[in-house]
Amino acid sequence: MNGAELKTEVEQRWPGQAQWRLDSADAMCEVTCARAALAELCGRLFLEWNFSFAGLIVEEHPEQWQLRYCFYGEREAGWVHVVTKAPLAERTFPSIVKFVHAADWHEREAEDLFGLKFEGHPQLGDFILHDDAWQENVEPMRRTFDPHAAMQHRKPDADWRPRRIVQEPGAFVMPIGPKYSGITESVHFLLETVGEDVIRSTPRLFYKWRAIEKLAEGKTVDQVLLLAERFAATTAFAHGLGFCQAVETICGATLPARARILRVFLGELERLRQHAGAIQEICESTALVVANSQAGILEEDLLRISCELTGHRYLFGLLAPGGLLCDLPSDSCARALEQSQQALKELNSLERALHVSSSFLDRLEEVGFVALRNANVYGLLGPVARASGFSRDLRRAQPYSGYETFNFEVPSEQEGDGYARLRVLFAEARQSVGIMEQAVAALQNGGVREPMRLRAGAALGWVEAPRGGAFHWVRLDDNGRITRYRIVPPSYANWHGFHLAVEKFAFQDFPIMLSTFDLSVAENDR
Amino acid sequence: MSQWVIKGLRAGIKTTAYPARAESAAGVSPGLPMAGDFPAGEIAALMACCPTGVFSERDGRIIVDHRLCVHCFRCVRGVNRPVGWQQTYEWGMVRDGQHEFGQPFRRSIHIIVVDAGDCGACLNEVKQLNNPYYNMHRLGFFITPSPRHADVLLVVGTVTDHMRNALRKVYDAMPTPKRVVAVGACALSGGVYAESFVCSKGVTAVLPVDVEVPGHPPPPLAILHGLLVAVGRKPASLMAPASSGMETSAPSG
pLDDT along chain B (253 residues), means of 10: 85 90 90 87 88 88 90 87 88 72 76 93 93 92 93 93 91 91 92 86 90 93 93 78 42 35
- Contact (Cβ atoms closer than 8 angstroms) between residue A164 and residue A174: no
Q: Which residue does chain A place closest to B126, by CA atoms?
A: A183
Distance of alpha carbon A84 from the chain centroid: 24
| Whether B156 contacts B113, CB under 8 Å | yes
Q: How far is B6 from chain A (nearest CA, A)?
A: 10
A293 contacts on B by Cβ (under 8 Å) = 8, 11, 131-132
Domain total in chain B: 2
Compute the distance between CA of residue A368 and CA of residue A386 in angstroms, rounded to an integer. Answer: 14
Give A211's contacts in chain B (Cβ within 8 Å): 196-199
Residues B106 and B205 in one domain: yes
Q: What distance in Å separates residue B182's CA from the closest CA in chain A?
A: 15
Which band of pLDDT confidence, cut at 50, 70 and 90, is reported for residue A523?
very high
Is residue B220 a part of any domain in this protein?
A: yes
- pLDDT per residue over A410-469, tens digit each? 999 998 899 999 999 999 999 999 999 999 999 988 889 988 889 999 999 999 999 999
Q: How close does chain B come to A362, measured CA to CA in Å?
A: 14
Residue B145 lies in a domain: yes
**Peptide linkage before B177 cis (omega within 30 of 0):** yes
- Does residue B8 fall inside a structural domain? no
For residue B248, give how far its alpha carbon lies from the nearest alpha carbon of chain A (Å). Answer: 27
ipTM of the complex model = 0.91
Domain that holds residue B63: 32-86
Closest CA to A126 of A179, A163, A167, A164: A163
Cβ contact, residue pair A312, B219, below 8 Å: no
Q: Which of A290, A317, A326 sits opposite B71 (nearest CB)?
A: A317
Residue in chain A lying closest to B205 (CA) = A151
Closest chain A residue to the Cα of B218, Cα to Cα: A313
Over pLDDT 70: what percentage of chain A?
A: 99
Residues B131 and B48 reside in one and the same domain: no
pLDDT band per the 50, 70, 90 thresholds, residue A198: confident
A208–B11: do the CB atoms touch at under 8 Å? no
pLDDT digits (tens, 9 = 90+) for A282-312: 999 998 889 999 999 999 999 999 999 999 9
Contacts of A154 in chain B (CB under 8 A): 161
Task: Summarize pLDDT for A455-468 with one digit per residue, the tens.
Answer: 999 999 999 999 99
Both B76 and B113 in one domain: the answer is no
Residue B51 lies in a domain: yes
Q: Kindly provide the residue ranges of all beta strands, DSSP E only, lying in A141-183, ordered along the sequence.
A: 172-176
Q: How confident is the model at residue A321 (pLDDT cuts 50, 70, 90)?
A: very high
CATH number at residue B124: 3.40.50.12280
Residue environment code for A93-127, b if the CB has 16+ CB neighbours within 10 A, otherwise e: bbbbbebbbbbbbbbbbbbbbbebebeebeeeebb
Residue B245 lies in a domain: no
| pLDDT digit string, tens, across residues A472-498 | 999 999 998 999 999 999 999 999 999
Is the CB of residue B26 less than 8 Å away from at least one CB of chain A?
Answer: yes
* Identity of the residue in A148, A207, A311 whose CB atom sits nearest the CB atom of B163: A207
Give the count of beta carbons closer than 10 Å to the beta carbon of residue B13.
7
What is the C-alpha to C-alpha distance for residues B74 and A115, in angstroms, rounded to an integer? Answer: 39
The answer, for B6 touching chain A at a CB cutoff of 8 Å, is no
Which of B125, B191, B187, B185 is CA-nearest to residue B159? B187
Q: Are residues B40 and B135 in the same domain?
A: no
Asked if A316 lies within 8 A of B78 by C-beta distance, the reply is no
Q: How far apart are the first and last CA of chain B?
A: 46
**Are residues B72 and B100 both part of a single domain?**
no
Chain B, residues 199-228, CB within 8 A of chain A, namely 199-200, 216-217, 219-220
Q: Domains (ranges, CATH) in chain A?
A: 3-119 (3.30.460.80), 172-204 (no CATH), 212-317+327-499 (1.10.645.10)
Strand partners for A487: A472
In tens, the pLDDT along A328-349 reads 999 999 999 999 999 999 999 9
- Facing residues of A94 across strands? A119
CATH number for the domain harbouring residue B56: 3.30.70
Q: CB–CB of A296 and B128 under 8 A?
A: yes
Determine the distance in angstroms separating the CA of A443 from the nearest CA of chain B, rounded to an integer: 21
Size of interface A-B (CB pairs under 8 A): 209
Where b means 16+ CB within 10 Å and e means fewer, A504-516 reads ebeeebbbbbbbb
B111 and B224 in a single domain? The answer is yes
Contact B120, A232 (CB under 8 A): yes
Tell if the CB–CB gap between A210 and B118 is shorter than 8 Å. no
Q: Where are the alpha helices (DSSP H) in A197-288?
A: 212-216, 221-230, 236-251, 257-285
- B139 and B232 in a single domain? The answer is yes
Nearest to A307 among B4, B30, B161 (CB): B30
Record: contact A300-B123, CB cut-off 8 A: no
